[in-house]
Structure 1
Amino acid sequence: MKKTLLTTLLATAAFAPVAMADFSLNVGAINVSPDESSSYLNVVETVAGLPQNSSQLAVDSNTQLGLTLDYAFTDNWTLEVVAATPFSHDITLNSTVGAVNGLKVGDTKHLPPTVLAQYHFFSKQDAFRPFVGLGLNYTLFFSEGVNQELTDVLVATGAATASDKVSLHLDDSFGVALQAGFNYRLNQKWGVHGMVAWADIDSDAEVRVNGTAVQPIDVSIDPMIFMLGAKYYF
């Protein structure tokens, strides 16, 4: 029994450094730059007296702390999990009517956990290794808020009263993600990590008055994602 236990412990101790050597952590700045489009806000256009098909939503970019964990299960193939601190985005009106163009609609936060399979080129012993990746993205929207500017417009046009509660809701999204980048190894433990990615993020949004949807909106965010940071090899 003691011999079996000793053998097991020795095998585990021998395997642990090898297993940990397959993991690496990337930490750095990650930027999400939406290439957004949306359906027209026809209900808002009607109540505000705007021309039909003149107004859509726009979403600004945001930079946060990015954290990605890599597991190399062969010399060329790696599984990567991408995470970040929550992104915050301002939502505005993109309109051909100058008086309301840039009107602040609201804001939202989101988390974009993404899992990718990466293929790394060149040899494991090479310092510089470019890679490409393909995976799936899940975007969780939360903390949606409506700006007072939108509420004022709805009240002024009679679509809402001053006592009504105006809110904004965005559905979560699930879609494909594409990636390309590089790792440059500086020494046994440290390196540089850079990547650019694209994610298919589509959401059904609603402007609500007292919980009732008054303006449904199809939003296609489809952002470019950029990251540059430090890489640590376990």
Structure 2
Amino acid sequence: MQNTFTKKLISGAVISLLGTTALALSSTAMAYEKGDFLVRAGFTNVSPNDDASNIFAGGSDLGVSLTVDSNTQLGLNIAYFITDQLNIELLAATPFSHDVNFSVADPLGTGNKLGEVTHLPPSLTANYYFLDAASAFQPYIGAGLNYTIIFDEEFTGANKSAGLSNLDLDNSFGLTAQVGADYKIDDKWHLNASVRWIDIDTEASFKVGEANGSVSDIQIDPTVFTISLGYTF
């Protein structure tokens, strides 16, 4: 009888301890709190939804516009929670390089590719998390500002030989918005996926021999996909 009573007592204590531990984990391990820092690294793909005005050279409309291809790089971001559900996030990455192509096949007899540009699109967003701290799945939405730095603009060798030179694209300042989600692995590590839209508009200028050329409006406006692994400090 005493053994039975002792077993029941021990079993009750263990069940109580496990229940208390589970409750503690569910209420604290999954939480984001004011003052938390998140650092993430992973893959970021920039996929332009390009729309460009026609190319003008020497005052003549060539009847040809431009397209910009996609590129994937190492994506990095850091976020700071100013409340339990609101953070400020900075998106950074290694430089993206994009082929710039003619919208029609080989219009100048120099191939389909006009040149290549490199850019960095740092973005600052405020993100709001919907669910309570006990949820391992943490979806959010965000909006903010982007400044895209464009550099290393180069024509292909064939286009340089045809007399094209001095390619230059303006930097861009615009809005950005995103939806994303974290999945908490434990109280420190999480997986992240997000989709952003960035307003990137630019103009291009160049030389054709001694004549000036231009593209007055290039609306790159990319969709940016990111998959990353994050850590909470």
Superposition TM-score, scaled by structure 1 size: 0.78
- Quote the residue 1:217 is aligned against: 216
Structure 1 residue 133 corresponds to structure 2 residue 123: no
Offset of residue 188 of structure 1: 1.4
Cα deviation digits, residues 17-43 of structure 1 (max 9, x gap): x99951011110000000001111143
Q: What secondary structure is seen at the aligned counterpart in 2 of 1:55?
A: coil
Equivalent residue letter for 2:120: L
| CA distance in structure 1 between the aligned counterparts of 2:221 and 2:53, rounded to whole angstroms | 14
Structure 1 residue 187 corresponds to structure 2 residue 186: yes
Q: What secondary structure is seen at the aligned counterpart in 1 of 2:160?
A: helix
Structure 1 residue 35 corresponds to structure 2 residue 34: no
Offset of residue 150 of structure 1: 2.1
The verdict on how the C-alpha distance between 1:191 and 1:176 changes in structure 2, with shifts beyond 3 A counting, is same
Structure 1 residue 109 corresponds to structure 2 residue 90: no
* 214-223 vs 123-132, greater mean Cα deviation: 214-223
The verdict on how the C-alpha distance between 1:126 and 1:19 changes in structure 2, with shifts beyond 3 A counting, is closer
Q: What secondary structure is seen at the aligned counterpart in 1 of 2:57?
A: helix
Contact kept? 1:136, 1:177, Cα under 8 Å: yes
- Quote the residue 1:118 is aligned against: 127
- Quote the residue 1:205 is aligned against: 204
- Quote the residue 1:14 is aligned against: none
Equivalent residue letter for 1:72: F
1:13-52 to structure 2, matched below 5 A, reads 22-43=36-57, 46=60
The verdict on how the C-alpha distance between 1:38 and 1:109 changes in structure 2, with shifts beyond 3 A counting, is same
What is the aligned-residue RMSD (CA, Å)? 2.6
Structure 1 residue 75 corresponds to structure 2 residue 74: no
Cα deviation digits, residues 158-202 of structure 1 (max 9, x gap): xx4xxxx71210000000001001001000111101100000000
- Quote the residue 1:233 is aligned against: 232
Contact kept? 2:116, 2:154, Cα under 8 Å: yes
Contact kept? 1:104, 1:149, Cα under 8 Å: no
The verdict on how the C-alpha distance between 1:20 and 1:76 changes in structure 2, with shifts beyond 3 A counting, is closer
Equivalent residue letter for 2:138: R
| CA distance in structure 2 between the aligned counterparts of 1:187 and 1:92, rounded to whole angstroms | 45
Percent of aligned pairs with the same amino acid: 38
| CA distance in structure 2 between the aligned counterparts of 1:171 and 1:206, rounded to whole angstroms | 9
Cα deviation digits, residues 71-99 of structure 1 (max 9, x gap): 11111111000000000011111127778
Q: What secondary structure is seen at the aligned counterpart in 2 of 1:197?
A: strand
Equivalenced residues, count: 202
| CA distance in structure 2 between the aligned counterparts of 1:196 and 1:104, rounded to whole angstroms | 28
| CA distance in structure 2 between the aligned counterparts of 1:217 and 1:135, rounded to whole angstroms | 26
Structure 2 residue runs without a partner (length 5+): 1-31
